[in-house]
């Protein structure tokens, strides 16, 4: 049994001279929901993008489901895998972005079946049947043939979640998926994420939604300046933070 679904060990990431991640180590267990909170620029989204190798780390190790992400190790040295292998690994890691990133020229169902058909070589018939089931699961059975431009932001984000689920990922990464939405549309997206959590999906969620973190997270990590400042169960970190920096951040966030 692999102990952790996601494991980071001493992960560093620089953009030029700017060090964004300064030796991050953490583990996300199977079926766990980890919420990453912290101010803008603290490295949360960068860490998420490193987990599926959209960003390459400068040093350290990152594993998903027991396998190194983007690299293979030989004699204690890391060698980057070729793109087809990276794509295959990335297919096992679902990611939903702040901006919905749907293909505008494709309907909801076409967006959902695109990757299973072209990456996994699923038959179109099978992909369509599963796509219908997934769109129903996210509450959009009647929007199958709509184009993104005709959907609200919340509906587009739910199509994006269905699209990520269509690849049967080991883990789902959510990068501030409600921050571009009107307040009244936030709940419909968070409700889908709550259901996924209840079904045992492993999730890493970058969020400013403290209520969601308190209700749904197994663990909360507070990041600032590229390091983990504090981590623990939501009631500890959010209700009784130990670190001054965490207290200051939560004081500002919870006032709004």
Counted residue by residue, the chain has a size of 256
- 8 Å CB contact between 158 and 167: no
Q: Would you state the pLDDT for residue 74?
A: 84
16 CB-contact burial (10 Å; exposed 0-12 / middle 13-18 / buried 19+): exposed
Taking CA 235 as the corner, what is the angle to CA 195 and CA 212, rounded to the nearest 5 degrees? 30
Query: Over pLDDT 70: what percentage of the chain?
Result: 98
Question: Quick one: average pLDDT of 125-150?
Answer: 95
pLDDT digits (tens, 9 = 90+) for 211-254: 999 999 999 999 999 999 999 999 999 999 999 999 999 988 76
Residue 164: closest CA among 235, 115, 127: 115
Q: What is the mean pLDDT of the chain?
A: 92
Q: Is 206 strand, coil or helix?
A: strand
pLDDT(256) > 60 = no
Kindly list the distances between the CA atom of residue 152 and the CA atoms of 156, 159, 180, 194, in Å, as whole numbers in the listed order: 6, 11, 11, 20
**What does each C-alpha distance from 46 to 5, 11, 21, 56, 192 come to in angstroms?**
19, 11, 8, 10, 24
What is the maximum span of the chain, computed from C-alpha positions, in angstroms? 55
How much is the pLDDT for 73? 84
For residue 131, pLDDT over 50 is answered with yes
pLDDT the model gives residue 2: 58
Q: 141: how many CB neighbours lie within 10 A of its CB?
A: 11
pLDDT at res. 3: 76
Kind and range of the H or E run holding 164: helix 153-165
d(CA 162, CA 131): 8
For residues 185 and 154, the answer to whether their CB atoms sit within 8 Å is yes
Q: Is the pLDDT of residue 255 over 70?
A: no
Which residues make Cβ contacts (< 8 Å) with residue 78, sequence separation at least 6? 61, 68, 71, 72
pLDDT of 123 strictly over 60: yes
- Non-local CB neighbours of 3 within 8 Å, separated by 6+ positions: 27, 29
Measured from the Cβ of residue 18, the count of other Cβ atoms closer than 10 Å reads 9
The pLDDT tens digits of the residues spanning 48-76 come to 999 998 999 998 999 999 888 888 888 87
Single out the residue of 165, 162, 235, 166 nearest to residue 201, CA to CA: 165
Q: Is 169 exposed, middle or buried (0-12, 13-18, 19+ CB in 10 A)?
A: buried
Is 195 or 179 the better-scoring residue by pLDDT? 195
| In the predicted structure, residue 1 carries a pLDDT above the cut 60 | no
Q: Give the closest residue to 91 by CA, choosing from 73, 118, 55, 61.
A: 118
């Amino acid at each position: 049994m692999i102990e952790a679904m996601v494991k980071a060990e001493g992960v560093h990431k620089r953009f030029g001279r700017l060090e964004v991640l300064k030796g991050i180590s953490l583990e996300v267990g199977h079926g766990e929901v980890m919420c990453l909170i912290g101010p803008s620029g603290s490295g949360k989204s960068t860490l998420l993008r490193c987990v599926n190798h959209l960003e390459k780390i400068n040093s350290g190790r990152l594993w998903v489901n027991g396998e190194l992400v983007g690299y293979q190790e030989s004699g204690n040295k890391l060698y980057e895998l070729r793109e087809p292998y990276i794509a295959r690994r990335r297919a096992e890691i679902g990611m939903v972005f702040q901006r919905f990133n749907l293909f505008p020229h494709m309907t909801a169902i076409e967006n959902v079946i695109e990757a299973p058909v072209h990456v996994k070589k699923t038959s179109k018939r099978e992909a369509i049947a599963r796509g219908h089931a997934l769109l129903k699961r996210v509450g959009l059975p009647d929007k199958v043939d709509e184009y993104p431009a005709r959907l609200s932001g919340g509906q587009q984000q739910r199509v994006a979640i269905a699209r990520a689920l269509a690849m049967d990922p080991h883990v789902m990464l959510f990068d501030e998926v409600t921050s571009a939405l009107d307040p009244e549309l936030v709940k419909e997206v968070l409700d889908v994420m709550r259901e996924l959590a209840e079904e045992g999906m492993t999730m890493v969620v970058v969020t400013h939604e403290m209520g969601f973190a308190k209700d749904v997270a197994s663990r909360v990590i507070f990041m600032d300046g590229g390091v983990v400042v504090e981590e623990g169960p939501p009631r500890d970190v959010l209700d009784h933070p130990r670190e001054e920096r965490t207290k200051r951040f939560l004081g500002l966030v919870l006032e709004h």
